[in-house]
């Protein structure tokens, strides 16, 4: 079973990878996008294993699917920077929604304290 901490860490890692393109959004090539799509799919798999009710779980899965869709389908009428920002916002919102849930962890309950917008640190009760 996945833990909220591991899912949040994966979201953080992908967010940091996407944030690297803020300085040069045109460098987000189809090959890089394919890698990010794969990494988001791994997050989706971990979300499926979280002990969440179907509603919140499906909400997270839909949001992550939106990020994959944007990566998969080119510009969608967005500029390169708008595309990068949209993906970052979706990932950030997904992490926010997940960290607002008190989920059981192997050591107890997970309490997440963000130290910056792409970094999370878990403390167990």
pLDDT at 119: 44
> Do 5 and 110 form a contact (C-beta atoms < 8 A)?
yes
- Name the residue with tokens 């009760």: 125
Report the 10 Å Cβ neighbour count for 76. Answer: 11
> Do 31 and 104 form a contact (C-beta atoms < 8 A)?
no
What band does 105 get if pLDDT is binned at 50, 70 and 90?
Answer: low
Tokens at residue 125, please?
Answer: 């009760």
106 conformational bin, left if phi > 0, alpha if psi -120 to 50, beta if neither: alpha
pLDDT at 40: 97
* Cα–Cα distance, 85 to 47 (Å, whole number): 23
The 10s digit of each residue's pLDDT in 55-98 is 999 999 999 999 999 999 876 788 889 999 999 999 999 999 99
Helices (H), 20-101: 30-48, 54-72, 80-99
Give the pLDDT mean for 15-39: 94
User: Can you give the pTM of this predicted structure?
Assistant: 0.80
């Amino acid at each position: 079973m996945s833990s909220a901490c591991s899912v949040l860490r994966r979201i953080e890692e992908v967010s940091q990878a996407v944030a690297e393109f803020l300085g040069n959004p045109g460098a987000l090539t189809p090959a890089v996008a394919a890698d990010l799509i794969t990494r988001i799919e791994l997050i989706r798999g971990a979300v499926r294993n979280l002990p969440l009710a179907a509603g919140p779980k499906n909400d997270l899965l839909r949001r992550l699917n939106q990020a994959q869709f944007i990566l998969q389908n080119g510009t969608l009428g967005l500029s390169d920077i708008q595309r990068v920002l949209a993906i970052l916002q979706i990932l950030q919102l997904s992490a926010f929604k997940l960290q607002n849930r008190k989920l059981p962890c192997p050591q107890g309950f997970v309490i997440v304290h963000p130290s910056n917008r792409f970094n999370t640190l878990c403390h167990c009760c």
